[in-house]
Amino acid sequence: MKPRVALATYGRAPTLAPDDQPLVPALASVGIEAEPLVWASKSAMWTAFDAVVIRSCWDYHLQSAAFQAWLSRLEESGIAVWNSTSLVRWNSNKRYLIDLAERGVPTIQTMVVPHRRAEDVERIVATEEWARFVIKPAISASGFETYALETPLSATSRATVARVAAAGDVLVQPFANEIPRDGELSFMFIEGEYSHAALKRATAGEFRVQTDHGGSVESADPDPVLIEQAKRSLSALPEVPLYARVDGIVRGGTFLLMELELIEPNLFFDLAPGSVERMAGAIARRLGV
């Protein structure tokens, strides 16, 4: 009997995001039956599968409590989950950037302002003397509620900070001028090994590189030194993830981590022939196929 894998997605992409759809035939070619399932579905029978691979769950940050409860149910069922529920829980709150910095990974400077402490944002920015800075929710994805603001803060900017802080903890970071100038690099790793890379660029007048915000994506051929630097983020983890996307910028020849994506990143399979097959092979090895 063929092993069965559920590819977890979300309600707006019940058949998976376009980038992930080739996974189904790629897995079939190595003897694995794969089926997309919406993570929030009340009728999904997760225990009917040998493993769950978390993929296009792009609304997890909007239903954080429900998503965490779903992870708990998967844990209780004993089913294999990749990436693991412990990694996903840790990665779902962007405080992980501070954890990685403490483990020696070069990251963009990050501070966390507690829920409803909007006044702390302005205090941090003044202390650090940042002329421009970025705020975003600690639990966020796809550029949701992410803003670049300038000092001194206007009344509109203060209102924006207050609104974001009223919803939960807030990340505060200096604005990275490299993003609008040079773009953001994304390194894809499968089973801890480098697979391929992409360069994401923001559209004119925007700093968010996501395609939802008008950004573009192209294949990249980064220097091997940068690949090794990006891999340091994975070396700091307690386990090897099935997949990871390491996003960041290059400053003075050093790769600075902006995001370590272990939950639902677009892996840009379409930019690298053979990459979806590498992913399918990694899943097969974990299943012992």
Q: What is the pLDDT of residues 257-271, one digit of tens each?
A: 999 999 999 999 999
Q: For residue 81, give Cα distances in angstroms to 47, 65, 107, 241, 242.
A: 11, 18, 28, 11, 10
For residue 2, give both structure tokens. 């063929």
- pLDDT at residue 207 greater than cutoff 70: no
Q: pTM higher than 0.85, yes or no?
A: yes
**Whose CA is closest to 278, among 288, 269, 266, 287?**
269
Give the span between the Cα atoms of 115 and 161, in whole angstroms.
Answer: 11
The pLDDT of 93-120, averaged and rounded, is 92
Rg (alpha carbons) of the chain, rounded to whole number: 19
The pLDDT of 139-150, averaged and rounded, is 80
What's the pLDDT band for 96 if we cut at 50, 70, 90? very high
Which tops the pLDDT comparison, 141 or 134? 134
Give the span between the Cα atoms of 171 and 125, in whole angstroms.
Answer: 12
The pLDDT, as a whole number, for residue 204 is 72
What's the pLDDT band for 285 if we cut at 50, 70, 90? very high
Which of 13-17, 36-40, 139-143 has the weakest average pLDDT?
139-143
The pLDDT, as a whole number, for residue 212 is 64
DSSP structure string for 104-137: T--B---EEEPTT-HHHHHHHHHHHT-SEEEEEE
The pLDDT of 62-76, averaged and rounded, is 94
The pLDDT, as a whole number, for residue 138 is 86
For residue 199, give both structure tokens. 């360069």
Give the span between the Cα atoms of 192 and 50, in whole angstroms.
Answer: 22
- pLDDT at residue 156 greater than cutoff 70: yes
The pLDDT, as a whole number, for residue 55 is 95
Which positions ≥6 away from 255 have C-beta within 8 Å? 106, 185, 226, 229, 230, 248, 249
Q: Could you give the domains of the chain?
A: 4-91+279-287 (3.40.50.20), 96-107+178-262 (3.30.470.20), 111-174 (3.30.1490.20)
The pLDDT of 232-241, averaged and rounded, is 95
